[in-house]
Amino acid sequence: MNWEYHALESYRLAGARVAEAQTITVGDTTVLVLQRFDRGQHGQRISFISAMTATGKRDGEAADYLDIVDAIRHISGDIEGDLEELFRRATLNVVLGNTDDHLRNHAFLSRKEHWFLSPAFDVNPNPQLHARRATSIVGAAQFPEEVHALHPLAEECGLTTLRAKQIVEEIIAAAEHWELESVEQ
């Protein structure tokens, strides 16, 4: 649980929207507790769809971040902001080794008749460097190809080279925090 907590904290430090999280100890076990983001202040439901629903994909069907890009272009109330957020998360997933990035681990929330990317959740770093990711990045599903695929993904997300580089630098700084905090645990 500490790994996931520190990964979420690194996402937050890198500027990504994440579910509020904390760890608590129950007996001899550390438990990760996430604040629900599909409920309003007074407990009312906020409409939620997974990226699987938004893309029209089915279980077991190949998926790519470009599918999520297309979904954002079709349903988002903040296309530019959500595309930048998606690039930030894809880059974080590569840097932190989160290969469990299937379409049910990306979602959209409804606000005022529009959809927006939900906060990031279910982030699980995988220590195996060459593990296949669930959702490919412009066709790349493993290291090191996925690193090279981030540049065309940035272009598809409408980011300038300078902006993409700034995001990567923010992520590298946050990843250093993740490594230090995780080692101390």
Q: pLDDT tens, 17-73?
A: 998 889 999 999 889 988 888 888 888 898 999 999 999 999 989 999 999 999 999
Q: What is the mean pLDDT of residues 129-156?
A: 96
Residues 6+ positions from 107 with CB-CB distance below 8 Å: 48, 49, 50, 51, 117, 118, 121
Radius of gyration of the chain (CA): 16
Specify the pLDDT at position 67.
98
- What dotted CATH number matches 2-184? 1.10.1070
The span from the CA of 37 to the CA of 46, in Å, is 8
Closest listed residue to residue 101, CA positions, set 33, 2, 16: 16
Distances (CA, A) of 150 to 119, 138, 144: 21, 8, 11
Tens-digit pLDDT profile for residues 143-184 = 999 999 999 999 999 999 999 999 999 998 887 766 555 545
pTM listed for this prediction: 0.91
How many CB atoms within 10 Å of residue 175?
18
Specify the pLDDT at position 183.
47
